[in-house]
A and B are shown apart, each in its own frame.
Chain A
Amino acid sequence: MLERIRNSRANKIWIFLAVLGPGIITAMADNDGPGIATYSVVGARYGYKLLWMLLLITFSLAVTQEMGARIGMVTGKGLGGLIREKFGLKLSFLAMSAVLVANLGTTIAEFAGVAAAMEIFGVHKWISVPIAALLVVFLINKADYRKVRTVFLFSAIIYIVYVISGFLAHPDWTQAARSTFIPSFEFSRGYLVAFIAVVGTTITPWGQFFIQSYVVDKHLDIEHLNYERADVFFGAFVTDFIAFFIMVACAATLFVAGQHIASAEQAAVALVPLAGRFASGLFAIGLLNASILAASILPLSSAYATAEAFGWEAGIDRSFTEARNFYILYSFFIIVSALIVMIPRVTLISIIFISQTINGILLPVILIYVLKIINDEEIMGDYVNGPVFNTIAWGTVGFIIAVTVALLAATLLGFA
């Protein structure tokens, strides 16, 4: 009897560990170079003011990621393929266009992250970016997938420095707590853009595709839904826990000093309470690591999703002749992104910030498709969304659209 209980408990833990992964990995990938940069910029500019948003976004992220994982478990298909099958060619073309624009923007931002990090070490972007592009190709083609994943998880440790630095900077905890739970709003262009950028860097169109294909790739069965939920929710919590401390650290250092961020060097100031004169170096390593890893995932994820929607053969284990379109798309992403970042005189931090804003604006498009699919009984059977999930997800969509419209209005009306 006792034996059996022990067995079943061991079994449960084993299942949890087997299932654990997609949610956490996607969460880590979410805090990529552009993520760090965006949270830093917003924290420096608005202090604690936007923390309440992170709280809400955590719920949205948890729900949308869970939806992606659930669709993957029930259908065993990627999001690109499902969209094509349910919505036909025209609407899937629209969806894929939105994803590709958002993803290209993010890939550019990843290379910009590489360039910004290496500039701290005095390496010009004309040298660092091509090397990074080659490294990305190498990582994808030659490296073992499991090893890449381990590196991923390891790289997450670097975010702990933000948590420590956040404490050491002696932030105004009362104000931080108040800002987290009491929303404040400001009808200015800058604030609205910051708003959308934070959403866009946390809940991403590509993250939606990524979690689903990860779950499909792992052949996770729907009977393990509860374990996968735990994984996804935990991942969402971790993502925003780190985002919270990046913002707090920046608020306690840069915002207090009235310093806006225009370069990576300035963003590194947030780590001074922990690392002192090594802050720049530490920041640079963290940013580089996060950017390179995401830069190797994004072109791949984009090429996979597109190939799936159009029914082309895809995969890095296929030869070029077998999966021609896949390779063309994948190379296009890397080459174009690298080249754009290498254009003289573009400011890297603003490229990153703009790309994340575009991500945020395009996010509702993808979420609407996801919601339509997950509420289709013919596809999802008994696993359609419940009212709570629908409310949160549709609420997120409505909220982002409302803020986008407000931003448009603010721009047209000439608000600063």
Chain B
Amino acid sequence: MLFASNLQKQRVIDNKGLAIGSINDLVVKLGPKYPYVTAVVVKTPEKKLVYVAWEKVQSFEESEATVTVSLAQVGPFKPEADEVLLIKDILDKQIVDTKGKKLIRVQDIKLARIGTKLRVVAVDISFSGLLRRLGMRKLADSIDAHRPPKFIDWENVDILSRADPSLHLKVSHDKLSLLHPADIADMVNELSPKQRTAILESLDMEVAAETMEEMDPEFQVEALTDMENEKASHILEEMAPDDAADLLADIPKEKADELLNLMDKEEARELRNLLQHPENTAGGIMTTDFVTLAADINVRQAIESVRQQSKEVDEMYYLYITDSVGRLYGVLSLKQLITARLDQKIEKIMVTEPIKVTLETEQEEVARLVAKYNLLAIPVVDKHDHLHGIVTVDDAIDVVIPTAWKRRFPRIFA
């Protein structure tokens, strides 16, 4: 769990591994139910404040953050109207209740990584929070062990702008639901079902879909069932087809059909196909997002074709060469394509007889082959050698390592 008060001394490392300074503050965008971090304010050794957009932050851990830009590429700090500084503007601010009575000051702020964003989820108002900031960590922990600390769900507070001198509670103090730390945590997974749905609904579709993909399967089902059908179908459209299909397979058939009917026709057809395959086979874990090329075109044409197909495909490791009826013919890595001479024919540079699996191949076998041949993706064909999909390395790893483990690795942002 991240606390705002812990962030201040965090080192910031740039893309060349050089320390560029330390975290000074976080810029948070107000408005959404759970405000998210849009930039980090970095204090350079020369005591200058610069800011790095959140998209440029590669990893963000308690002791260190890495960014993908160098010091020369970052600008001075200038927040927008609906942005506030987490530490400067919110930490230590007065909290007043609905009647305007003072409650306490913000002892600490709890942040959670939800999807790709770092969001403000709760405000710490407990005595132990105060002790922790005074450096009495052990005493604070032992108090917490006896009496759960008090956190106010951010949903219950209101801050109007940077100039607003206080944080306003939206519900009266006695009705305030003080959340247990287990309820508010890094991940949507650890939130209560109601909050989880609330968060998902407050996100834009793309982020919601991404968040869904990251969640534990049982929570995905719960969240999808709680949501309005309209919204749920949109989120499914945005999700990677394999993940969407897995999710649809887990919910009641009637509900799945309802959702599929609300979806875009083409997307729905693809998902229906995927749904036919048992979950524990290559067909069940494959995705239908891949790039195909004809064998008789040259490299220049191939690159143009890749460029066009890339709009629909999230990730791309290999290019698959198929014949006119869709039979798998050969494979080519992106590197091979890009480094080849422009006038060369594809069939001259491609690898024929690629490693492949069939729709019925068991998922463990798929993972074994991916690991054995160090593949980033493996094609899936039917008994007539027609290419149906690919299993990417991350989905193959999921077979062996449960999703929750994988999440411990820092996420790399696009």
Decide if A and B are genuine partners.
yes
* Residues of A bordering B, CB below 8 Å: 77, 81, 84-85, 88-90, 92-93, 307, 309-314, 322
Q: Which 8 A-B pairs have the closest CB atoms?
A: A311-B105, A313-B102, A89-B133, A311-B104, A311-B94, A313-B101, A84-B92, A85-B92
The answer on a CB contact under 8 Å between B133 and A314 is no
User: From residue A148, how far is it (CB to closest CB) to chain B in Å?
Assistant: 24
Residues of B within 8 A of A89 (CB): 5, 92, 107, 130, 133-134
The answer on a CB contact under 8 Å between B134 and A93 is yes
The answer on a CB contact under 8 Å between B133 and A311 is no
- Of chain A, the residue at the smallest CB distance from B95 is A311
Given A89-B130, A93-B134, A311-B94, residue A84 in contact with residue B105 (CB < 8 A): yes
Residues of B within 8 A of A85 (CB): 92-93
The answer on a CB contact under 8 Å between A312 and B104 is yes
Residues of B within 8 A of A88 (CB): 91-92, 133
Residues of A within 8 A of B107 (CB): 89
Interface set, chain B 88-113, CB cutoff 8 A to A: 91-95, 101-107
Measured between alpha carbons, how far is A222 from B91 in the docked complex, in Å? 27
User: From residue B77, how far is it (CB to closest CB) to chain A in Å?
Assistant: 13
- Of chain B, the residue at the smallest CB distance from A322 is B101
Select the residue from B94, B106, B134, B135 with max chain A CB neighbours within 10 A.
Answer: B94
Residues of B within 8 A of A322 (CB): 101
Interface membership of chain B positions 122-160, coded 1 if the CB is closer than 8 angstroms to chain A and 0 otherwise: 000000001001110000000000000000000000000
The answer on a CB contact under 8 Å between A81 and B133 is no
- Of chain A, the residue at the smallest CB distance from B105 is A311
Residues of B within 8 A of A310 (CB): 104-105, 130
User: From residue B164, how far is it (CB to closest CB) to chain A in Å?
Assistant: 13
Q: What would 12 more interface pairs be, CB under 8 Å, given A89-B107, A89-B130?
A: A88-B91, A88-B133, A89-B133, A90-B133, A90-B135, A92-B92, A93-B134, A310-B105, A311-B103, A312-B102, A312-B103, A312-B104
User: From residue B23, how far is it (CB to closest CB) to chain A in Å?
Assistant: 15
Select the residue from B93, B102, B104, B165 with max chain A CB neighbours within 10 A.
Answer: B102
Residues of A within 8 A of B101 (CB): 313, 322
Measured between alpha carbons, how far is A310 from B106 in the docked complex, in Å? 9
List 14 A-B residue pairs with CB atoms under 8 Å apart, sorted by A's residue number: A84-B92, A88-B91, A88-B133, A89-B5, A89-B92, A90-B133, A90-B135, A309-B105, A310-B105, A311-B103, A311-B105, A313-B102, A313-B103, A314-B102
User: From residue A323, how far is it (CB to closest CB) to chain B in Å?
Assistant: 9
- Of chain B, the residue at the smallest CB distance from A87 is B92
Measured between alpha carbons, how far is A275 from B134 in the docked complex, in Å? 56
The answer on a CB contact under 8 Å between A311 and B102 is yes
Select the residue from A309, A310, A322 with max chain B CB neighbours within 10 A.
Answer: A310
Residues of A within 8 A of B103 (CB): 311-313
Residues of A within 8 A of B104 (CB): 310-312
Residues of A within 8 A of B95 (CB): 311
- Of chain B, the residue at the smallest CB distance from A307 is B102
Measured between alpha carbons, how far is A217 from B92 in the docked complex, in Å? 22
User: From residue A75, how far is it (CB to closest CB) to chain B in Å?
Assistant: 9
Residues of A within 8 A of B165 (CB): 77
User: From residue A325, how far is it (CB to closest CB) to chain B in Å?
Assistant: 9
User: From residue A86, how far is it (CB to closest CB) to chain B in Å?
Assistant: 9
User: From residue B287, how far is it (CB to closest CB) to chain A in Å?
Assistant: 49
The answer on a CB contact under 8 Å between B94 and A81 is yes
Measured between alpha carbons, how far is A203 from B93 in the docked complex, in Å? 30
Residues of A within 8 A of B106 (CB): 311
Measured between alpha carbons, how far is A201 from B169 in the docked complex, in Å? 42
Residues of A within 8 A of B5 (CB): 89
Residues of B within 8 A of A92 (CB): 92
Interface set, chain B 45-103, CB cutoff 8 A to A: 91-95, 101-103
User: From residue B99, how far is it (CB to closest CB) to chain A in Å?
Assistant: 10
Residues of A within 8 A of B135 (CB): 90
Residues of A within 8 A of B130 (CB): 89, 310
Residues of B within 8 A of A312 (CB): 102-104
User: From residue A123, how far is it (CB to closest CB) to chain B in Å?
Assistant: 41
Residues of B within 8 A of A84 (CB): 92, 105
Residues of A within 8 A of B94 (CB): 81, 311
User: From residue A361, how far is it (CB to closest CB) to chain B in Å?
Assistant: 23
Measured between alpha carbons, how far is A3 from B183 in the docked complex, in Å? 71
Residues of B within 8 A of A313 (CB): 101-103
User: From residue A311, how far is it (CB to closest CB) to chain B in Å?
Assistant: 3
Measured between alpha carbons, how far is A359 from B29 in the docked complex, in Å? 45
User: From residue B87, how far is it (CB to closest CB) to chain A in Å?
Assistant: 8
Measured between alpha carbons, how far is A90 from B129 in the docked complex, in Å? 12
- Of chain A, the residue at the smallest CB distance from B91 is A88
User: From residue B149, how far is it (CB to closest CB) to chain A in Å?
Assistant: 15
Interface membership of chain B positions 401-412, coded 1 if the CB is closer than 8 angstroms to chain A and 0 otherwise: 000000000000
- Of chain A, the residue at the smallest CB distance from B165 is A77
Measured between alpha carbons, how far is A153 from B130 in the docked complex, in Å? 41
- Of chain B, the residue at the smallest CB distance from A92 is B92
- Of chain B, the residue at the smallest CB distance from A75 is B165
Select the residue from A88, A93, A314 with max chain B CB neighbours within 10 A.
Answer: A88
- Of chain A, the residue at the smallest CB distance from B104 is A311
User: From residue B166, how far is it (CB to closest CB) to chain A in Å?
Assistant: 9
User: From residue B89, how far is it (CB to closest CB) to chain A in Å?
Assistant: 9
User: From residue A53, how far is it (CB to closest CB) to chain B in Å?
Assistant: 38
User: From residue A210, how far is it (CB to closest CB) to chain B in Å?
Assistant: 20
User: From residue A219, how far is it (CB to closest CB) to chain B in Å?
Assistant: 15
Measured between alpha carbons, how far is A309 from B133 in the docked complex, in Å? 15
- Of chain A, the residue at the smallest CB distance from B102 is A313
Measured between alpha carbons, how far is A90 from B134 in the docked complex, in Å? 5
Select the residue from A89, A312, A314, A322 with max chain B CB neighbours within 10 A.
Answer: A89
User: From residue B289, how far is it (CB to closest CB) to chain A in Å?
Assistant: 49
Residues of B within 8 A of A77 (CB): 165
Measured between alpha carbons, how far is A322 from B103 in the docked complex, in Å? 9
Measured between alpha carbons, how far is A85 from B165 in the docked complex, in Å? 10
Measured between alpha carbons, how far is A378 from B315 in the docked complex, in Å? 47
Measured between alpha carbons, how far is A88 from B108 in the docked complex, in Å? 11
Residues of B within 8 A of A93 (CB): 134
Measured between alpha carbons, how far is A85 from B106 in the docked complex, in Å? 10
Residues of A within 8 A of B91 (CB): 88
Measured between alpha carbons, how far is A309 from B134 in the docked complex, in Å? 14
Residues of B within 8 A of A314 (CB): 102
Measured between alpha carbons, how far is A89 from B8 in the docked complex, in Å? 13
Interface set, chain B 211-235, CB cutoff 8 A to A: none
Measured between alpha carbons, how far is A89 from B134 in the docked complex, in Å? 7
Residues of A within 8 A of B134 (CB): 89-90, 93
- Of chain B, the residue at the smallest CB distance from A315 is B102
User: From residue B129, how far is it (CB to closest CB) to chain A in Å?
Assistant: 9
Measured between alpha carbons, how far is A92 from B95 in the docked complex, in Å? 17
- Of chain B, the residue at the smallest CB distance from A89 is B133
User: From residue A342, how far is it (CB to closest CB) to chain B in Å?
Assistant: 32
